[in-house]
A and B are shown apart, each in its own frame.
Chain A
Amino acid sequence: MDHEAQHEQHFHDPANVTNPEHAEHHVVTPAVYAMVYATLISFTILTIFAANWDMGIFNPIVALAIASTKMVIVILFFMHVKYQSNLIKMTVGAGFFTFLVLITMTLSDYMSRAWGLL
């Protein structure tokens, strides 16, 4: 069999062609985007109100909680991760997990440096 004919035959691995793991292309409607938009604007107003209200040590915690909620909403709907395959979901999750590990380990270093010296 010459090269040309071999190419024509175009062998498929059936496991790849069936690919049950690959998500279908899900079209998110403008109505969903509009709800996400309204939610994000509301949370922006909420975070400004929360900052003006003295909650002691809870101010930065509330500010970060609101920002993280907005982030998750953007990732799930604007960035379509809710409708993606498990591979993409795992990739996104692994990225944020790695980031948190790095933050935790670096902070533990800074926090423990002066231990035993004071």
Chain B
Amino acid sequence: MDNTVAAASDAPLMPNETIVHEPGEHVFVPQHRHHFETEEQQREAGSFGMWLFLLTEIMFFGGLFFAYLLYRNWYYDAFVPASNQLSIPLGGANTAILITSGFFMALAVWASEVRRKGLLVLFLILTMLFGIAFIGIKGVEWHAEWKEGHVPGAGYDIADFVNPKAHGINNEKPLQPDMAQRTQLFFFLYFGMTGMHAVHMIIGLGVLIWLTLRARRGDFTAGYVAPIENFALYWHFVDIVWLFLFPLLYLINRHPLVH
């Protein structure tokens, strides 16, 4: 069995070490279920299933992205000033924070593969901390939008867009009231998309707590990497969604009235 991770001993592997088995040697791998011929077949089946789930997630977020695409084209004049009300420093910082969280998750997979329990727990906790920081900053942004009256259906105020100069916004053209109402569509999609993204992160953070507790027990540092690996797929997928949300929501047209 050419499986480089499965081994009988619990000792940590050196970074470049692989375990070589004699042909025909009987290797017992505790995580290997009897209905799979080999442990690597089991692992591939697990990855395959996880990817199928992620494809349904692509379709789920895809519907939201399509709604965004269509309304952005129909009401572009409303989407530009609405998008310019979002904070690039906060959104940009959150993008960096999420990429950092994903980086630590990738390192956690590595720590599990080379069987370093301490490092695995550390990387899982770092992944969690950066995830929590992301949600925190998002909460600060949502709170600011609530105070500005930019939450559709909850005291939405078009004043910022009908008469920008009176509200301290000097680089936007005033909109007609009917077009100014369309800014609600932008904020509806903004809250829907960032909200669904945040829900995915909160679910991920819950799973991370459970994985960290099991990692502390040594469940994932004796050759059984699959749960860490498949959770990492989910976490990176949620990252990817944000990689698109950031330019599409925050950076629609950041050079207004220049020409």
**Dominant SS at the A interface?**
helix
A58 within 8 A of B: no
| CB of B86 to closest CB in A, whole Å | 12
Q: Is A103 a contact partner of B4 (Cβ separation < 8 A)?
A: no
**B:51-86 near A, CB below 8 Å:** 51-52, 54-55, 58-59, 62, 66, 69-70
B194 within 8 A of A: no
B253 within 8 A of A: yes
Q: Which of A44, A48, A79, A88 contacts B232 (CB 8 A)?
A: A79
**B:127-155 near A, CB below 8 Å:** none
Residues in chain A near residue B232, CB distance under 8 A: 78-79
**Dominant SS at the B interface?**
helix
B5 within 8 A of A: yes
Distance between Cα atoms of A4 and B246 in the complex (Å): 59
**B:5-57 near A, CB below 8 Å:** 5, 15, 37-38, 40-41, 43-44, 47-48, 51-52, 54-55
**A:40-78 near B, CB below 8 Å:** 40-41, 44, 47-48, 51-54, 59-60, 63-64, 66-67, 70-71, 74-75, 77-78
Residues in chain B near residue A27, CB distance under 8 A: 4-5, 110, 113-114
Distance between Cα atoms of A36 and B48 in the complex (Å): 24
Residues in chain B near residue A88, CB distance under 8 A: 44, 47-48, 51
Q: Is A19 a contact partner of B58 (Cβ separation < 8 A)?
A: no
Residues in chain B near residue A53, CB distance under 8 A: 255
A96 within 8 A of B: yes
Q: Is A59 a contact partner of B37 (Cβ separation < 8 A)?
A: no
With A22-B40, A79-B232 known as contacts, the answer to whether A95 contacts B51 (CB < 8 A) is yes
Residues in chain A near residue B233, CB distance under 8 A: 79
With A27-B4, A44-B95, A64-B247 known as contacts, the answer to whether A51 contacts B254 (CB < 8 A) is yes
Which B residues fall within an 8 A CB radius of A? 2-5, 15, 37-38, 40-41, 43-44, 47-48, 51-52, 54-55, 58-59, 62, 66, 69-70, 88, 92, 95-96, 99-100, 102-103, 105-107, 109-110, 113-114, 225, 229, 232-233, 236-237, 239-240, 243-244, 246-248, 251-255, 258-259
What would be 16 A-B contacts, judged by CB atoms less than 8 Å apart? A19-B37, A23-B44, A24-B40, A25-B40, A28-B109, A29-B110, A54-B255, A71-B240, A74-B102, A74-B243, A75-B236, A79-B236, A84-B44, A95-B54, A98-B55, A102-B66
